[in-house]
Structure 1
Amino acid sequence: MQAIMKKLTFALIFLILLLCIMLPFFWINSFKFDNSYKYHNIDIVVVFGAGINKNGTPSPALKYRLDKCISIHNSQGVKFIFISGRKHEVFVMKKYLLYNEIDINKIIDDPDGENTARTIKNLKKFLDNFDQPLSIAFISQKYHLPRISILAKKYKLKNYFFVPTETKDIHFFLDLWLNLRESLAIYKAIFYD
């Protein structure tokens, strides 16, 4: 009887843990985006770091983010581009933007954005320098945007839009891993960041 109770307890704990992982996973994949950013004036575009290749070029995920940033900049003429990540990521991001003819005076470097929460905190400090609120476009892959939403609300940012980028060149298993990782990171954003 005791062995059966141990197995039932283990099964119950396993199911609870699985549910804790799967609920955010399903929420991430049902998160709705609209394209309303296309119809508003965007003052600042925020690009989150996403790693770099060994040869010093943006990873596929980061390249998609930067290309979307450039597209919005060219179509809407944004005032600022806030690039955030680790020091080496920010260097590669800035180099990529400059190569694509973005004015250096529009680029705001945040080499201390080692994670999403730190980027949002640093963005908040930058935005506090302005009397009027700036409209913000957060650019990232779809799986990352729900956590950005949680943190933007937590740090009382206003007037922001979400811009999902492509994931087509990201390997299926890497994409699956990133979605599962993001499921756990949502709990960190809610309870810790």
Structure 2
Amino acid sequence: MSTRRSNSGRKQGNAAKRFFVSVLVLVLLGIVGWFLWLYGQINDTAQIDNAQQADAIAVFGAAEYGGRPSPVLHARLDKAVLLYNKNIAPYVITLGGGQDKDSGKTEGGVGRDYLLANGIPYDHIIPETRSIDTEQQVQLLADIAHKNHFNSIVVVSDGTHLFRIALLCRRAGLKVYTSPRATVGRIDTIDSAQRMWHEMLSYTFLRTNLHVSWMHRWLEGKLN
């Protein structure tokens, strides 16, 4: 009798292990599939310039050094100047606050000065100088768009950054067209991989928060 029980218990244990392994494999396949899909979406967005007639051009902030744009911000601003000169939009919005509070410089302010030096009139530039990250830049961009009755905006940033920006803008009720900046110098494989992983993880975290928030609101509705 004890032998039968032992064999039965062993079979149940093996079945449980097989079930656990099957679930684990399915989860891993789902994760791999998600990141492969996401890589393709980010890469496709980075390669395509969707700039077209709009009410404004928005330049997402990047580092500034002592009042001068970093190479990355420089390239983003150059793209905005190019689009403005092509009459894509009559206004340019520069986004970004200051990383160094003591310097008094901001990414949005440095961007404005750069655009002025490149021939864009003062009253055609709208600087935003308070945001500290991409989400805040989108929130304040939405405020600017609402205040100025902008219905569509061309957003300029690094190519890999644009897929996440587009999602945030849709959440904020903005109609946007993505336009990647030109590549600055030679980007090595490690740097390129780091940028991609940063965006994939940031986008995944963003989508996870969206689903959690939606579930929370759904549960509140059911309980109230």
TM-score range, shorter chain: 0.7 to 0.9
Q: Distance in 2 between matches of 1:14 and 1:51?
A: 37
The answer (yes or no) to whether the contact 1:60–1:170 under 8 Å persists in 2 is: no
Query: Which residue pairs with 2:191 in the alignment?
Result: 174
Letter paired with 1:175: S
Give yes or no for the alignment of 1:44 onto 2:56: yes
For 1:91 and 1:69, locate their aligned partners in 2 and report how far apart those are by CA, in whole Å.
15
Q: Residue 27 of structure 1: CA displacement?
A: 2.5
Q: Which amino acid aligns with 2:152?
A: S
Alignment of 1:1-193 (within 5 A): 21-31=35-45, 33-35=48-50, 37=52, 40=53, 42-53=54-65, 56-76=67-87, 78-87=89-98, 88-130=106-148, 133-158=150-175, 160-169=176-185, 171-172=187-188, 173-192=190-209
Q: Aligned pair count?
A: 185
Return the TM-score normalized by structure 1. 0.78
Q: % of aligned pairs identical? A: 26
Which AA in structure 2 matches 1:63? H
Task: Compute the RMSD of aligned alpha carbons.
Answer: 3.1
Per-residue CA deviation, residues 83-134 of structure 1 (Å, 9 max, x unaligned), is 1112322222122112112211122121122222111111111222245x43
Q: Which has the higher helix share?
A: 2
Matched residues in 1 for 2:187 and 2:49: separation?
Answer: 26
- What displacement does 1:62 show? 1.1
Contact 2:108/2:128, CA 8 A, preserved across alignment: yes
CA deviations 1:143-182 (Å, max 9, x no partner) are 0110011112111212x21111112415323232111111
AA matched with 1:26: G
Determine the C-alpha separation between the residues in 1 that align with 2:51 and 2:125: 24
Counterpart Cα distance in 1 of 2:43 and 2:200: 10
TM-score (norm 2): 0.69
Shift in CA distance, 36/105, structure 1 to aligned 2, threshold 3 Å: closer
CA distance in 1, matches of 2:147, 2:82: 26
SS state at 2:68 partner: coil
Cα distance change of structure 1 residues 129 and 75 upon mapping to structure 2, 3 Å threshold = same
- Larger relative CO (CA 8 A, sep 6+): 1 or 2? 1
Structure 1 pair 49/180, CA: closer, same or farther in 2 (3 Å)?
same
AA matched with 1:179: M
**Contact 2:95–2:128 at 8 Å: present in 1 too?**
yes
